[in-house]
Amino acid sequence: MVVLTDKFGRGISDLRISITDRCNYKCVYCRTGNEGALYGDLAFADYLRMARVLVGMGITKVRLTGGEPLLRNGVVEFVRELAKLRPQGLKPPSQSRDSSAAEAAPLQGPADQGPTDQRPNDQRINYMKQVPRRAAPRNNNTGEVAEDRLDIALTTNGHLLADLAQPLKDAGLTRVTVSMDAVDPDRFARITRVPGGYDHVLAGIRAARRAGLWPLKVNCVLMRGFNEDQVIPFGMFAREEGVVVRFIEFMPLEEDRVWSPETVVRLEEILARMAEYRPLVEIPHARSETARRYRFDDGVGEIGIIAPVSHPFCGHCSRIRITSDGKIRTCLFSVWDHDLYAEMRRGASDEELAEFIRGVVMKKEERHHIGEPDFVPASRTMVHIGG
């Protein structure tokens, strides 16, 4: 059994690879809107070799991210190659059969909106109005992956997902997380600074459901003054679309340096806002899971809250990241990165790469220091790391 651990005894099982530094959105809380890509990207064969070595060391889950990963031609073929890798390590609790109570729990929304949903991709619903409630069955499709398969996930803004969801699923993608920061189309455009994106993303979400990319998660970063009033509409959206909506506290990882403690919409406030719509009941989450999980009191719809600012989870962090230009980052808030690609370029063998990676993992930071007087901004912002 292969398990990669750091000096604090944390098992490292989760790898995120940014496959491009480019993004087609300019979200106000992420980018300046003026800068483009800052770093290059590598050939897929290079990422594949890195992934193969890391999977041999205990990585059981690979998430593709960016920039916007779907901008990269060849992503489907890359997923097909990744899917041939076989994990060697222990499945983290959230992925093992023993914890199926926690992981199998996501509920579908209305019964007719699962993978067989025939609703047009572009049919909008006004989530700023009360959405009628309908009974929903439990989801039988748990999204669990076979023990011997690599769990391959994707984080995307969803703009290009409608046409790619099925090919990605066929290639071996396990699941997808779509970032979406408003369910009001005008607000969505104001945040992304790209006109007309909302309908593309909604179509992408529905296509992903139909393709069986499940559980389907929708991540919303809340930033005060922009979208904190979207909490209840997103609760309705979760119930109507049958997706798990997860709110993320805004972290100081933006290009514009606009973060302050006041801009963060914290876990307690999110819960209080949602309670005005209907009560949430907390449900178990796996130790390594970043999100606290909640279900509405009638069992319809799941909400998650990722609260790295108000309730840090560094003690259970199981992640390392590879940037688009091949650097390892051991924490989102690292002030340095480790050039794995340089090792490859100088002709290192797989064993030498593994040795390098083991040394890097030993340097993984104990925790972040957001909001503390000694906080030092990360050496890259989120879009250039890969969230």
Q: Residue with structure tokens 């790469």?
A: 353
Contact flag: residue 68 with ligand SAM (CB under 6 A): yes
Nearer to ligand SAM, 57 or 180 (CB): 180
Distance between CA atoms of 199 and 134, rounded to whole angstroms? 24
Q: What is each CA distance from 141 to 66, 72, 97, 254, in whole angstroms? A: 28, 30, 14, 36
Shortest gap between Cβ of 228 and ligand SAM (angstroms)?
14
Among 78, 214, 237, 250, binds ligand SAM (CB under 6 A): 250
Contact flag: residue 254 with ligand SAM (CB under 6 A): yes
Among 202, 248, 265, 320, binds ligand SAM (CB under 6 A): 248
Shortest gap between Cβ of 155 and ligand SAM (angstroms)?
4
Answer yes or no: are the C-beta atoms of 98 and 286 closer than 8 Å. Answer: no
Among 95, 99, 139, 156, binds ligand SAM (CB under 6 A): 156
Shortest gap between Cβ of 157 and ligand SAM (angstroms)?
4
Answer yes or no: are the C-beta atoms of 252 and 261 closer than 8 Å. Answer: no
Nearer to ligand SAM, 211 or 253 (CB): 253
Nearer to ligand SAM, 231 or 248 (CB): 248
From the list 61, 93, 89, the residue with the least C-alpha distance to 177 is 61
Q: Give Cα 96 distance to the centre of its chain.
A: 19
What backbone phi and psi angles, to 5 degrees, belong to 36? Answer: -105, -145
Contact flag: residue 157 with ligand SAM (CB under 6 A): yes
Contact flag: residue 234 with ligand SAM (CB under 6 A): no
Among 20, 60, 94, 219, binds ligand SAM (CB under 6 A): 219
Q: Kindly write down the DSSP assignment for every residue of 280-330, as one continuous string.
A: EEEE---TT-SEEEEEETTS--EEEEE-TTTS--GGG--EEEE-TTSEEES
Contact flag: residue 382 with ligand SAM (CB under 6 A): yes
Among 108, 155, 192, 263, binds ligand SAM (CB under 6 A): 155
Cβ burial 213-241 (10 Å sphere, 16+ → b, else e):
bbbbbbbbbbbeebbeebbbbbbbbbbbb
Interacting residue ranges for ligand SAM, rule: CB under 6 A: 23, 29-30, 65-66, 68, 155-157, 179, 219, 221, 248, 250-251, 253-254, 382-383, 387
